[in-house]
Amino acid sequence: MKKLLIATHNPAKTIEIKSALNELKKQGVELLTLNDVGVEKEPEETGKTFQENSALKAKFYSKLTNLATIADDGGLIIPFLGNAPGVRSRRWPGYEAGDQELIDYTLSHLKNAGGDERTAFLETCVTFFYPPTGQIFFEQEKIKGHIAEIPSPRPTNGYPYRALFVVDEFGKYYDELTREEHDKINHRYKALRKLTKRIENLIS
């Protein structure tokens, strides 16, 4: 395997994934982005779980490019709300909503909730698809926390739920974590590092 496609149009996520896959790069695998291969299309995310959507995206982009592909899917899980918003994290109200709208929407659903009812998880699933054999690998990780009653004063553009998610391990908003704290709990990075080991076994 000489090339590996990172299937996301999100620049920040691309940088994070490339960093996590650095061991593969050291072994001579060229890490390509969707921009590198000139792909602008996006699949319809019809899966009911993060794993289903992650696999759907990996297979979609692999079919377009005939490249081994890594894709991910994830979002916020609130058990008290029946694990909502889940795969509908960006479309929870029934349509593509903006950051502030999603923050307000979440708080309105938890208006009278307290204690354990505000428990939440940030979950991710990363998928590797290898077209020569059809092999597919999954790795999943999550961060435990709870939904605050008021949002962080320093929200991250494009990540509305981080402004509400307090990481239990540090007792801090996700948005307010230091670089070192973020690196320690980074669920996508952890999942990608596990996936890297499985890919190394495949290509060794």
If you average pLDDT over residues 127-141, what whole number do you get?
96
pTM over 0.75? The answer is yes
What local confidence, expressed as pLDDT, does residue 90 receive? 87
What local confidence, expressed as pLDDT, does residue 22 receive? 92
| Token pair for 69 | 């592909």
Give the domain CATH number at 136. 3.90.950.10
Match 């496609």 to its residue by tokens.
5
Contact 17, 190 (CB under 8 A): no
Q: How is residue 125 annotated by DSSP?
A: E
Sign of CA dihedral 35, 36, 42, 48: negative
- Band the pLDDT of 62: cuts 50, 70, 90: very high
Nearest to 68 by CA among 4, 139, 12: 4
Which residue range(s) make up the domain with 10? 3-203
Residues 6+ apart with CB under 8 A from 164: 103, 106, 107, 147, 148, 151, 152, 173
Domains held by the chain: number: 1
Marked catalytic residue, from 73, 99, 116, 183: 73
| Token pair for 77 | 């899980």
Contact 143, 187 (CB under 8 A): yes
How does the average pLDDT of the chain come out, rounded?
A: 94
Q: Where are the alpha helices (DSSP H) in the chain?
A: 11-20, 22-26, 50-65, 99-109, 179-185, 187-203
If you average pLDDT over residues 89-116, what whole number do you get?
94
What local confidence, expressed as pLDDT, does residue 158 receive? 83
- In tens, the pLDDT along 178-200 reads 999 999 999 999 999 999 999 99
- Known catalytic membership, residue 73: yes
Percentage of residues of the chain with pLDDT beyond 70: 100
- Band the pLDDT of 146: cuts 50, 70, 90: very high
